[in-house]
Structure 1
Amino acid sequence: MKLLEPIAAPTLTLKNRIVMAPMSRRRVTGEGIPGELMKTYYSQRASAGLIIAESTVISPGGMGISRLPGIYSKAQIEGWKKVTAAVHQQNGKIFLQLVHAGRIAHALNIPGGASPVAPSAIAAAGTISTPAGVQPLPVPTALSPEDTEEIYNIHLQAAKNALEAGFDGIEIHAAHGYLLEQFIHPASNQRSDEYGGSIENRSRLLLRITEGIIGIAGADRVGIRFSPFASLNGLSAYEEETATYLYLAAKLNKMNIRYIHLSDQSTNGHPPIPPAFISLLREQFHQWLILAGGYDTDSATAAMQRFNNDLIAFGRPFISNPDLVERIAQRLPLAPADKSTFYEGEEKGFIDYPYLTPAQKL
């Protein structure tokens, strides 16, 4: 089974092609410092070829929802060191996903009560959970040229911090309607400077950040997540969507980054990524391609045959199956997940899911 075959790059070798997708489980308290629960959670799932750790905010102002981990303070770095060490002790590999929420935020969730920021002062439709209850998403503050440069700088510092924390690489979160996708998308980016207007300008900040992180980590340790056509967080389909992502794919291919990670959200009720688009992107991008979006063993195998992609990311199956790789290998049933414990809480529904017993194994 191709899913179980190892895959190698110049400086990164994975024991199989099964990726644990980044999932915000919101088990962090206090100052965004990963604790013992997260250390246990990730080490339990280290049989994945690659773990992509959950969305981790790059600065206090990048916080969207509450109880997310950060990677901007010394204490956070020290907390993550324990997580990465535990994964490495299990012969696992782990990347960190860097995120800034942009306009998908609220002052009540941001330390210090600062206003959310975005490319332009355009609110996203919808609501957000806060300590004071569910609130409408506010009109964000438009980033000035100086503020935009600071966004570039804090991404690079976060990448340095992630490497200091022991991560094997970095995933740049440019998906799901958060800040970097807000720059890419014309509905949220109506700037008239070098970062707005054309496809090239709207892509500029992401490509600058990617180039900067490559300079820190090396191209083999950098990936990017996209969610084209998903229409998440107020960003609906637009005329230049295919052209935008094919432009980005060609640029990223020249940069030789390790992977592009496509997040299909159709199992969550959003439009799917068209198969024809995946084929077009595969023509433009020749490094690893990761597909994510409600796959099981059979559909993952079929996708790899159809699109010649390199890896498949599994999300929810990893929540309730810490030994998912073994279950896939032996084609054994998956344990069901308790949806009520997906977000927030403590041990229950986080680190207490059972492994296969010897009697259950083939």
Structure 2
Amino acid sequence: MKKTQIRLLALVMLIVLPGCDYRILERIGFTYAASYDTAAEDQVEVTISIPRAEPTVKLKREIHSAVGRSSKDARIKFSNETDLLLVNGQIRVLLYSDALARKDLSNEINSVLRDTSISPLVKITLVSGSAKELLGKDYKQHLSTDKYINRLLEKESSNHRTPKTTLYEFERDYYDDGIDPVAPILKEVGNDISVDGIGLFRDYKYVAKISNKDSLLFAILRGNLKKGDMSLDLGSSEEASSHEYIMFSSVISDRKVHVEHKTGGTIHVTIDGHLRGSVHEYIGNKKLSNDAQRHEVESKVSEILSARANRLIKQLQQHKVDSLGIGISVRNSMKYEAWKKLDWREVYPKVEVDCKIHFKAKDYGKIR
């Protein structure tokens, strides 16, 4: 009886299994990255990158591009150009050209949000210039451009050079009435891709940019850091004609925001930033092993960073973007009914903001 059952099962398997497609995954195009650019007549140009892992195919990835009234319209067009069934479940990066972002990203972002197959952890970034050209170009030093971009963004956010900006975080800040969204900016530099600063948004519009020089300072003012590195030119030395220069790493910072409501309705905000770092390099005539001279260097660093922080705040207020989330602290300092009556977008540029950065050297190397 058992032998009969085994033979019957073997017969069924011989009939059924040849009809199965073992290579079904090779027929699916897992979109890894997508870019969005402006096109004529208020249309959008969408480009996608699809990795290919077939041993019989020499191509490392497929690039498809189409122009449409919406991103969905464009996707329908380039889906006809490939033999793969396109899916979005593995998409990692969304790139938007700065020209498109300066217009408005509401249609493109909302289109992504409506696609339930796309993870809210997908990374959002701006591109200085053409996003299509950046995504479509192959860089000799990197096997795959889309994966290169993804790893670059992960590394930069882990070092706090750029804020971590996923679809979830962008939308969270958009709907929060006390902070505005931000996104990193990429650009092509020769045969490489480089981070080109931080894009500041007012709602879904890109309105201003923070340079790389102030990116870590921006991170210190926006929240607490656990690591990072910074270099600083301290200017000409008083005792000599040489310049003072300092670089410190392993930066740990703690930010506290104090809000004071003055008579007449004026709001005064003080941002106290305390940061400690290991002095990796110092060029100057001070001896860091001498406590008094080390404190002089620390005071100079604190003074320069405080001045730069206040200039940065003025820049944000000028463009009416609260990218640091000062509004959250102001909202928490008052009754909710009073906050709702307050037009924060108009009040924010008039708020008195005073930034005080305090630097302390944790250590200064083995040589004393």
Q: TM-score, normalised by structure 1?
A: 0.24
Higher normalized contact order (CA 8 Å, seq sep 6+, divided by chain length): 1
Higher strand share: 2
* Structure of greater Rg: 2
